[in-house]
Each structure stands twice: as C-alpha cells, then as structure tokens.
Amino acid sequence: MDVSQYLEIFIEESKEHLQSLNDQLLILEREPENEDTINEIFRAAHSLKGMAGTMGYKRMQRLTHDMENVFSEVRNGKMKVSSELVDVLFKGLDALEEYLANIQADANEGTNDNEDIINSLNNILNKGLGKAPVESSADQKPTVLSATSIDTDKMKFKHIKIEDHEKKAIVKAGTLGMNVIGLTIYIHEYCVLKAARAYMVNRNLEEHGEIIKLFPTAQDIEDEKFDFHYSVFMVSKETPEKLAEVAESISEIKEVVADYISLSNEDVTNYTNVLKREETALASGAARTSETKNGSVQKKANKPVTNRSVRVDIEKLDVLMNLVSELIIAKNGLVSISSTSQVALEHGFSEQIEYLERVTTNLHESVMRVRMVPIESVVNRFPRMIRDLSKKLNKEMELYMSGEETELDRTVIDEIGDPLMHLLRNAADHGLESNEERQRLGKNSVGSIFLEAYQEGNNVVIEVRDDGSGINVDKIKKKALERGTITEDQAARMSDKEIIDLLFQPSFSTAEQVTDVSGRGVGLDVVKTKIETLGGEIEARSVLGEGSTFIIRLPLTLAIIQALMVMIGREKFALPLGSIQTVENIPNTDVRMIQGKEVINLRGSVIPIIRLGEVLDCVKAENEPEEFVIVVVKKGERLAGLVVDELIGQQEIVIKSIGKYIKAHKIVSGSTILGNGEVSLILDVNSLI
C-alpha cells in the first residue's frame, strides 16, 4: 500500500494533534486533576501514534507510544501528574515537532531517537507505579516467543498450501544461504484498524527480508477481510526469534509465533532442477534490467508541498457555486442579445453589464471570505512560548489573548507569526519587571501580557501590550546620542513618540547584555520591515511605569484592493485607498519651505509634501500649474501630501507581484493590469512617508 499520497494530509492533521497536545498540556500544568484534559491528551497522542505508524515513521511512533503509556496510567488513576512529568512531556512535544518539520522538509523524520526523553518517560512511569527505574530504553526488549517453545496449534501457516512459484522461491533462498520463515501475527481484538496494524508489521518485516506469501492475500488484508490473525512467509537472513521481535514491536500486536519453513526432499530436488534450467535466462534478463536501470534517469522524490491549503466551510463553497452559476447565466445573456437589433442590443447590453458587475463584486467578496483564516492558527502557539520564557527568565507572567477568531487573508497569516513572536519576547524580557521589583512597586507579582486582535474597517488591528515598566525615553535618547543616530539639537526638538520610534531603526537595542532572548539588536526593525512588506504599519505607545503597547494594522487581504488611480507625468499609478485621508487642490502659493522641505498648512496642520514626479523621475510639465492636486495620506500619526498631476478615479485592482521580473524599488509594492490591458505600478505609501 503506497502511503506517499497521504503525506500532505498526515502533515496537516499531525499539526492539529500537536497543537491540541500543546494546549491541553498547558491546561494540565495548571489543573493536574482535570480528567477531560487528560482524556484529550491521551486521544491526541493515540491518534498521532497510529498515524505515524501507518506512514512508517517509527521514531515518531515510538515516542508517542511512550507518551501514551504514561497517560494511560494517569487516566486509570494509577499515577499523578507532576511538574517533572509536564516538563518531560513538553520536551517530547518539541521532539515530535522536530520530527514533523523534518518530514515536511524531505518526507524523512530524521535520525534522532530522543532516547533521553524516552528514558525519562519510562522512569517517571515506573516511579509512579512503584517499579524500579530503567537505565536505558535500549535494554528494554519485548517478550518474544522462542521458535523452540512455540505452541504448534497457533502456527496457522502449517496448513497453508504452498504454490509452485513459492516453492521455487523457497528452494532458491536455500541455495543463497537464506532462511525461509513463517510467522503468524495475532492482533488484539480491541484494535480498531487491524489492516493498518498488519501493514505496519509487514513494512517492518520487509526491512529484514522479502515477503513471498501472505495468507489471506494482501488485498483481503487491506480490505480487512480476515480475523485478528494472519500469516507471512518471508526470505531473510534473520532467525524466527528476531523476526518475531520485529513484528511484536508494533503496538496492538498481542502475540507472534514463528518457525523455519522447509520443503520435502522431493520438492527440493524438483525445483532445484527447474532453477538450473532457468539460470541462463534469468542471468540475461538481469543484465538487461541492469542496463535499463543504468541508462535511466532517476527521479528525485518531490518535496511535499504544505501550508498551501485552506479548510473551507461547505456553505461558503455553496455560495461560490451559486455565483459561478450566475456568471454562466450572464454569459448566456450576452450571447443571446448579440443577435438582436441594434436598439435592443444597446439596451440589453447595458443591463447585462450591470448584472455582470454585481455578480463579479459578490464573487470577489465570496472568494475573499474563502481565503480568510482565523488568526487563532498563528497565536495558539504563543501560550507555550510565554510559559517557557517565564521559566527561562525566572519571571512569573500570564498571557491573555482575545479576538483569536478575527480573520485575515491566508497570505498575511503565513507571514505575521514571526513579528508577533518578536513583540511578545520583548514584552516578556524588556517590558515586565522582575517579580521582586513588581512587589516593591506595589504591582501584582505576576506580570500580564495581552494579545488582542480585532477588525477596524478594511484593516485588522493586533495589539501587544504589557503592564511592565514602559519605555524609558531618556534611556533611548542617551543610547541614540552615543551611537550618533541623532544630534543634540535633534534630541532637544524630538517628541517622546519620535524618540520611541528610534527603536524601529536597524540594530538599535537598549539591552545591557545579550541573551538568547533579546539584546542582539535585531527584532523591532525586522518587525517593522515585515509588517510594511505586508502593506501594514506599526506604532508604539508607552507610559513610563505602566506599560507599553505595540499596535499593528494590517490589510484584510493582499490580493484585491480598492485604489485611487492617478496620473504622474504620462504614467498611471495606483495608491491604496486605505491610506488616503483626503484629496485637496492647493494653490502653489500656499507651499512654504521649513528646514529645506516643502510643506503646506492644511486646516491648521503642517504637512510635508512629496512631489511624486521627482521621486519617480517622471516627465515634468513644461509650465508649473497654478494649483497642485495633493493626495493626503496617513501612516500612524504622521501625514504627508503626495503631489500628482491628475486624478483618474477609484478602482478595484488585482495586485500582481513583479518580483520575478524586476528588482522592485521599495516604493513599489506591486503592479496591476487595467481594463485596457495597460500595466500600472502600485505605490507603497508607507515607504514614501
């Protein structure tokens, strides 16, 4: 049975089980007596073990089997959950995630047996059950029936008819010095998937030889048309005892009986002569096969493609189907009116175009909903991370999350995890004080970190805040002066917010020492770059002594957006509508110079202006107009006026990447194809301000 076709499903479902284990272990650490949690962990471990075994990942199967053993005893009330057990289980979870990462990379689980984790689990199990600890899991061997002590009544293969071609294979094995061994495998009656267990046993046995017969047939076994036992004949260099041990290493195998298989002297003589007559033909055939193999191109195993799937509610697919049906109706309507009179054609055509426009708008919205994924798929790994940081930093802290059901486009979801992780680690390390310091300040000794997500218009807002010491503006200013990032004059004029924004500059860190948590000068600049790449923005707010808040605003989707189309010189450009505050006509006499930069006074606010024609090196008009068309855009709290030559209008555009064709300048976020076939560049407002 070829299981490679199930690899992608295995990876996706394993991720779900591992996340479930992670969540439930965090609950168990707080509530060691929670029976529902214990049962859920047992079920997840059992499912993961079965899946890994079916796919042939023995190390993963073995580790989950030992984790399941522990929880089986906990569930039966024979041992209690301890902090030592939880720590070892988390290590086991990390090892399973490493196995899965290796499988995702090249369909191979790797070579790490994680003996230390398995030994720790077995020692905890034996200690909990009042047994002596084990020195090494390598010393633990399953009980194997000796071939000399087999109950012959259980040797079902004694009565199996051996066909002529099988007798020939047995004789040939003898001439090559190989053993022919028969095994009868008994599966526990409570096994749910006995065909899967049989497949796992056979796969293990095939590593030690060649199976020449199955009884019942392989097809009957795969279809579960057998009782809880079946027989195997195989050619191997191993002994019956060794092969029985291999078969019994699979879980839910009750017993294995094995013995050597031999033929009568008459059969041996007859089939030896047959083999001699075929020897020449076989040799020439083998030579031809060798030539074919040597001349053929060996195909490499394809790397599994993952993280490219989205689970969709069937109701959303029904909506899509209905909309596609309406598109077909609209198409048929256009076809039918094409053969009518000119007057009817003009009237009918405009109606069909309006109808088509409504359908495509609804179709766009429906497809966007299909692409949306709850942000929960990203943030559900953070409670475990905060738990580990709490132990590493020796700080008591709690993570409170809300809005996990908030949805984002899958393309955004895949990229937002690392920036959020950086912010949470900063909050834990830089933001929260030590427990002693918090008590001295009259705060709760347990620090709080909050992760909140919510939708705001066409954006999703994610806030990461803490109730720690806040950002020390004076400390940032001092560090910036020491590095020469700013001058004394600039420092004197800068507001607190402008000073806090210095934290987003590359390699800027106020940490006194470098640790594996923070202080390497990377983090916030990486966060800012990644978020702006996603078309979003980030700002920081802080109150000294009360805490800090980092606010991320992200677009709902990166695929289709509303944009304002403008002319700059002779070229058309698109400005994302979400960043635009207003459009103004400003007389050129209102432009003033402050510190060498052009600004305008717009209803009491001084706004710098950016001449896009100069930035983009577009063809200038011969005579400067008496009025400028200025598009006022906003990034965080900052405003800027973009000077354009002409407004074309608002339009829904499809974003196309241009990374494969040219190295895009940072002010160009992509391109779009207009209705007349022209290509227009989309400008990144964040990089312009």
Q: Where are the alpha helices (DSSP H) in 547-667?
A: 612-615
Q: CA-to-CA distance for 198 and 219, rounded, in angstroms?
A: 12
**Residue 623 bears catalytic tag:** no
Lowest mean pLDDT among 174-188, 320-334, 619-633: 320-334
Q: Which CATH superfamily is domain 375-555 in?
A: Histidine kinase-like ATPase, C-terminal domain (3.30.565.10)
Cα–Cα nearest to 197, from 248, 145, 154? 248
Q: Give me the pLDDT at residue 123, please.
A: 85
4-139 CATH, one of 1.20.120.160, 3.40.50.2300, 1.10.1740.10, 3.30.70.890: 1.20.120.160
Q: If you ran DSSP here, which 8-state letter would residue 656 be given?
A: B
Please list, in sequence order, all residues whose beta carbon lies within 8 angstroms of the beta carbon of residue 628, skipping any fewer than 6 positions away.
585, 586, 587, 588, 591, 609, 643
**Residue 444 bears catalytic tag:** no
147-272 CATH, one of 3.90.1150.10, 3.30.70.1110, 3.40.50.920, 1.25.40.10: 3.30.70.1110
Cα–Cα nearest to 389, from 523, 517, 522, 524? 517
Tell me the per-residue pLDDT of 20-48, one tens digit each, with 9 for 90 and over. 888 888 888 888 888 888 888 888 888 88
- Please, which residues bridge with residue 455 across strands? 460
Annotated catalytic residue, options 17, 46, 422, 430: 46
Q: Give me the pLDDT at residue 137, please.
A: 40
> Kind and range of the H or E element at 72?
helix 58-75
Q: CA-to-CA distance for 427 and 419, rounded, in angstroms?
A: 13
Q: If you ran DSSP here, which 8-state letter would residue 620 be given?
A: P
**Per DSSP, which regions of 636-676 are E strands?**
638-644, 646-654, 668-673
Tell me the per-residue pLDDT of 360-392, one tens digit each, with 9 for 90 and over. 777 877 777 777 788 888 888 899 889 989 988
What is the three-class DSSP state of 270? Answer: helix
> Kind and range of the H or E element at 462?
strand 459-466
Tell whether domain 560-688 is in CATH 3.90.1150.10. Answer: no
Q: Is 510 exposed, middle or buried (0-12, 13-18, 19+ CB in 10 A)?
A: middle
Give per-residue burial for 294-322: e unless 16+ CB within 10 Å, then b: eeeeeeeeeeeeeeeeeeeeeeeeebbee
Annotated catalytic residue, options 426, 430, 433, 532: 426
Hey, how many other C-beta atoms are within 10 angstroms of the C-beta on 40? 18
pTM (whole model) above 0.95: no
Predicted confidence band of residue 302 (pLDDT cuts 50, 70, 90): very low
- Cα-atom radius of gyration of the chain, to the nearest Å? 35
Segment 309-332 shows an average pLDDT of 74
More confident residue, 129 or 644: 644
Q: CA-to-CA distance for 531 and 266, rounded, in angstroms?
A: 80
Please list, in sequence order, all residues whose beta carbon lies within 8 angstroms of the beta carbon of residue 330, skipping any fewer than 6 positions away.
352, 355, 356, 359
Annotated catalytic residue, options 17, 65, 68, 204: 68
Residue with tokens 């053929």: 296
Contact 168, 279 (CB under 8 A): no
Q: Give me the pLDDT at residue 127, please.
A: 77
**Percent helix, strand, coil in the chain (nearest 5)?**
50, 20, 30
Q: Give me the pLDDT at residue 551, please.
A: 92
Tell me the per-residue pLDDT of 163-186, one tens digit each, with 9 for 90 and over. 877 887 888 887 787 888 989 999
Tell me the per-residue pLDDT of 492-523, one tens digit each, with 9 for 90 and over. 888 888 888 888 877 666 655 555 555 434 46
Segment 404-432 shows an average pLDDT of 86
**Residue 16 bears catalytic tag:** no
Which amino acid would we find at residue 119? N
Q: Give me the pLDDT at residue 466, please.
A: 93
Q: Is 288's pLDDT higher than 70?
A: no
More confident residue, 447 or 319: 447
Q: Is 237's pLDDT higher than 80?
A: yes
Q: Give me the pLDDT at residue 112, please.
A: 85
